[in-house]
Amino acid sequence: MGIQEQYRSEAASLLSSGEVKLVIGFGAGSTADRRRPLFARTGEEANRFVLDASCIANLSTYLLTEGLLSDGKKVGIFLKPDGIRSINILIAEAQLKPDQVVILGYAIENGQLTALEGRSVADFNGVNEKIRSLALPPAVQQDIERLEAMSPVERFQFWQDQFSKCIKCYACRQACPMCYCRRCIVDVNQPQWVNTSSHTLGNFEWNIVRAFHLAGRCAACGACDRACPVNIPLRLINARMGREVREAFDYFAGESTDQKPVLASFSKDDPETFIL
Ligand code: SF4
Ligand code: SF4
């Protein structure tokens, strides 16, 4: 039995047995290489799940749909390592309860699909080398290194050029599982903290504020830059911030469900190189 059939059958039995009320996975998309979210509530619907190397979206964002988990029932969900990291961060931030999620984990390595062992949140909690090693695709790592090789002036120009394209559609925010605030700072208009029109200063404010908001919280899933209609490589800035946090505080976001948020906690051993 292939992985797709195995997971279809697992999803169907989770639903038929009543262990979960819903399974969130992937269905066929509008083109052969696109997949769209599929929400199955019966074993029969689970037969429509598709699982292949095109299933790249981080579905964890749907778990935060208002009211979905308020009845205390469980939901099953197809997740790659970045989605599992997201779940761990959301639990650490008290947005999810671990016993409400059944993880149908899989990984895509060099275009090949593999099944991940474990179904409960606890199975993926704690230092997990598999999750660490698959968390940042090599292409993103290479792009970060290309940016690092630039002079500060060149790098600033790079981001200025990129952010100047922003049309403030906020699709990046909507796609991101970590952007769960019911009212975002950019939607507050009394006072208006961040200018909502598309111009250089406001675009910088929005994108830098968001990058700082995600520092130590980003799961590097890339949902933001896939959602961006003007192709700003948002994952690069968030992944770079993630690396900064890792190097400074030995903190890998999403590794465990009881991590304290890195920028909201303090240890007397924290580096203080910013103090001159
Ligand atoms: S900031 Fe982008 S890459 Fe990071 S978790 Fe959000 S959507 Fe994923
Ligand atoms: S998705 Fe892209 S264009 Fe839209 S607000 Fe985010 S960065 Fe700007």
pLDDT at 130: 67
From the CA of 2, how far away is ligand 1's center (Å)? 30
d(CA 227, CA 174): 9
pTM of the model: 0.90
pLDDT at 70: 93
For ligand 1, which residues put their CB under 6 angstroms from it? 175-178, 214, 218-224, 234-235, 238
For ligand 2, which residues put their CB under 6 angstroms from it? 166-172, 227-230, 232, 234
What's the pLDDT tens digit per position in 208-244?
999 999 998 999 899 998 999 999 999 899 888 888 8
d(CA 274, CA 168): 32
From the CA of 54, how far away is ligand 1's center (Å)? 18
d(CA 271, CA 276): 12
Residue with the smallest CA separation from ligand 1 atom 4 is: 218
Residue with the smallest CA separation from ligand 1 atom 8 is: 221
Q: What is the DSSP string of 37-97?
A: EEEE-SHHHHTT---STT----GGGGGGSTTTTTT---EEEEE-HHHHHHHHHHHHTTSS-
From the CA of 96, how far away is ligand 2's center (Å)? 27
